[in-house]
Amino acid sequence: MQPPPPRQINLLGAPDEPNQLSLVELADRLLNRGVVLTGEAVISVAGVDLIYLGLNLVLTAVENLQPRQSHEPTAARDRRR
């Protein structure tokens, strides 16, 4: 006898049954609510939350994401060694 196919759970989109709804609510609670120990800030305009910033994330300009050595002259790196 073949085992029953695994039940597919869709955590996104519209819930169509109570169990699925509970899973969506669970995921929402675990990932979006609860205490944030590292600090938090909500930027809002007229009471509507625009962006949620976890302050434990490092916000950086795109150019700062480049490896530092690619911006530095070779001589400067060598002097530090």
Partner 1 sequence: MSLLLHAIVAAEPVAVEAPLVRVDAGTLSAIASPTEVEMLEHHTIVEKAHATFSACLPARYPTWVDTSQALRERLERREVDLLKALERVRGKAELAVTATWTTSQHEQPPLAASAPGRRYLLQRQREFAHADALRRRATEVAEQLEATLAALAVETQRALTPRPGVAVSLALLVQQRAIDKVKAAAQNLDEPQDVRILVSGPWPPYSFARLGMGEE
Place of tokens 């695994």: 6
Write the CB contacts of 55 (distance below 8 Å, at least 6 apart in sequence): 38, 39, 40, 41
Q: What is the DSSP letter of 25?
A: H
The window from 2-10, 16-24, 63-71, 72-80 that contacts partner 1 (CB under 8 A) reads 16-24
Tell me whether residue 25 or residue 72 sits nearer to partner 1 (CB atom): 25
In whole angstroms, the minimum distance from the beta carbon of 46 to partner 1 comes to 14
Is residue 51 within the footprint of partner 1 (CB under 8 A)? no
- Return the bridge partners of 44, or none: 49
Contact residues for partner 1, defined by CB under 8 A: 13-16, 18, 21-22, 24-42, 55
